[in-house]
């Protein structure tokens, strides 16, 4: 049980590598790698979720001793890159830089606030409510995604489709954990303080995370870099 979290994270990296190798251009590979590197920093938020949401045995028992662990950095790296390119990997979408005129449209006055909305909402919910951090994260990502959709309606289709695609892939990925480590979910996830609902052994909250993360994160690169899908 000590190395299950590490092994499971490395399985995600294997999926990442398959998708990375199958991308059709160096530009898309660069995008995937860059987003993954930045997303890996989200692994530093793990103390907010341990033990409130779960308590995974980890390398050197770091998660239980400090809240931090190496596996969370690996996991965050993997999900970030996958979520941001899954749509274009399947639909072969191509991108171009937005013109100055497009950037100056009235709705882009909120560009900066849209980008920071998710972390700001997350912090506010943490400080003002007693919600489990996983629910605060989901609400923040959905709200941030809706703001992003308002600011960039051209990305709406990609965001909604990506949310479903990433959720489906994540569900299948999670089933590998359920299959190779029976009882792991029940012993590691704090099911008593969340819904306790398992779908084929997968906590409902994990699927909500995948849906909200895929929705928001699929637009993050285009939003930062002022890129749009070619018509």
Sign, CA torsion 142/164/86/154? negative
What distance in Å separates the CA atoms of residue 123 and residue 136, rounded to the nearest whole number? 8
Q: Tens digit of pLDDT for each residue in 147-173? A: 999 999 999 999 999 999 999 999 999
Bigger pLDDT: 67 vs 178: 178
Residue 231 confidence (pLDDT) above 70: no
Length of the chain: 231
Instruction: Enter the tokens of residue 64.
Output: 């239980």
> Which pLDDT does position 94 carry in this prediction?
85
- Work out the pLDDT band at 105, boundaries 50, 70, 90: confident
Bigger pLDDT: 216 vs 102: 216
Average pLDDT over the chain, rounded to an integer: 94
Q: Render the chain in DSSP notation, one character per residue.
A: -TTHHHHHHHHHHHHHHHHHHH-S-HHHHHHHHHHHHHHGGGGGGGGGTTTTTB----GGGHHHHHS--HHHHHHHHHHHHHHHHHHHHHH---EEEPPHHHHTSGGGGGHHHHHHHHHHHHHHHHHH----HHHHHHHHHHHHHHHHHHH-GGGHHHHHHHHHHHHHHHHHHHHHHHHHSTTHHHHHB-GGGS---EETTEEHHHHHHHHHHHHHHTTHHHHHHTEEE--
pTM (global) more than 0.85: yes
In the chain, the percentage of residues whose pLDDT exceeds 90 is 77
């Amino acid at each position: 049980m000590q190395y299950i979290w590490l092994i499971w994270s490395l399985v995600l990296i294997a999926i990442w590598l398959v998708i990375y190798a199958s991308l059709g251009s160096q530009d898309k590979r660069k995008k995937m790698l860059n987003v993954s590197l930045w997303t890996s920093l989200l692994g530093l938020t793990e103390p907010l979720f341990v033990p409130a949401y779960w308590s995974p045995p980890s390398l050197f028992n770091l998660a239980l001793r400090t809240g931090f662990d190496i596996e969370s950095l690996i996991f965050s790296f993997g999900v970030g890159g996958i979520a941001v390119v899954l749509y274009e990997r399947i639909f072969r979408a191509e991108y171009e830089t937005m013109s100055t005129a497009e950037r100056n449209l009235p709705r882009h006055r909120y560009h900066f606030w849209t980008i920071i909305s998710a972390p700001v909402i997350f912090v506010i919910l943490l400080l003002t409510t007693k919600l489990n951090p996983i629910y605060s994260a989901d609400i923040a990502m959905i709200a941030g995604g809706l703001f992003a959709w308002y600011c960039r309606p051209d990305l709406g289709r990609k965001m909604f489709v990506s949310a479903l695609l990433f959720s489906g892939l994540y569900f299948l990925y999670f089933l590998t954990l359920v299959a190779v480590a029976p009882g792991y979910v029940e012993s590691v996830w704090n099911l008593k303080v969340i819904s306790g609902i398992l779908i084929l052994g997968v906590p409902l909250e994990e699927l909500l995370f995948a849906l909200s993360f895929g929705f928001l994160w699929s637009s993050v690169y285009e939003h930062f870099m002022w890129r749009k899908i070619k018509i």
